[in-house]
Amino acid sequence: MSELQQLDVLCIGESLGLLVPESPGKLAHVRALRLGFGGAESNVAIGVARLGGAAGWAGRVGADGIGELILREIRAEGVEVHAAIDENAATAMMLKERPRAGASRVSYYRSVQAGSRLAAADLAEGLVERARILHVTGISAGLGEGPLGAVHAAIDRAHAAGVLVSFDVNHRSALWRDGRDPGAAYRELAARADIVFAGDDEAALFTGVTDPEAQLDAIRAMGSTCAVIKLGDRGAIASERDERVRRDALRVDVVDTVGAGDAFVAGWLAETARGSSIEHRIDTAIACGALACTGDGDWEAAPTRSDLLAFHSPSVDPVQR
């Protein structure tokens, strides 16, 4: 076992540079773009760190300024970073268009970039083994056989070391236009995970059923201990062993919903690492997802514990003097 600290959650996957218009409107008529970054797995790692957990992220970036920005910013959020630097491929990019207020459309430039070249050899010896929870997503499966193989190798190591495995489907249809079957890949990953997260539309892809309650049963039957169905503005439901819980969504003034699902997962996993009850896990996750909608960006509005406390204390004066 490494002498480095134990990680509550280790997230493995691709992070990308992000370009966002400064104001709503058709991209053809927008001139000012803001540079940042995002990525489901690094979003979760940041969310866990914001909640006081020991979080790590492992991935692959190019030897370029975007890759440098990603690594610097993730570290600045208190996340332990383990990144392979690819000298032969650039860091992937995504472009978020905002055609009108409250709406967004994302385009990806990632198919031959550094993140799609992630391999099992990029994961340092002892890294997976010192985590309480390993978190992966279906995005890695969509990126190709290399990243999918890296994820399965990490799961093998997690199982051998007694590390919990968390899997969030995070379906991206644009990554599956080559004829591969996403449902088969998701079923295989879900069967190897202890905790499975999916939106109800995502769960339908690999369970074959559309009713969220039935989806929980189908996912649990694949072998997971815990299944969680994210229902967006309708809340979430979850099943673990003989317990089943449901919560409505919390109402907030929505600015941007991108990253809300990742904040939800971060809240759930942070509480899992603490040994919290399923009721406390879903309550924290719902609040994290809601607060993530109150600001722009993939991860920037992910809450801290203080943010959660203030959110649940409406009597507190919102103006701090």
CA torsion 210-171-281-135 (nearest 10°) is 140
Cα 159 from Cα 268, distance rounded (Å): 21
Cα 279 from Cα 282, distance rounded (Å): 5
Q: What is the DSSP letter of 312?
A: T
Q: Which of 91, 118, 120 is nearest to 18 (CA)?
A: 91
Phi, psi values for residue 79, rounded to 5°: -95, 135
Cα 54 from Cα 107, distance rounded (Å): 32
| Residue listed under structure tokens 């409250």 | 102
CA 252 → CA 115, 288, 311, distances in Å?
A: 34, 11, 10
Buried b or exposed e, range 279-289, using 16+ CB within 10 angstroms: eebbbbbbbbb
Give residues with Cβ within 8 angstroms of 184, minimum separation 6: 206
Strand partners, 207: none
Cα 302 from Cα 167, distance rounded (Å): 20
Cα 267 from Cα 55, distance rounded (Å): 12
Cα 172 from Cα 38, distance rounded (Å): 14
Residues with catalytic function: 262
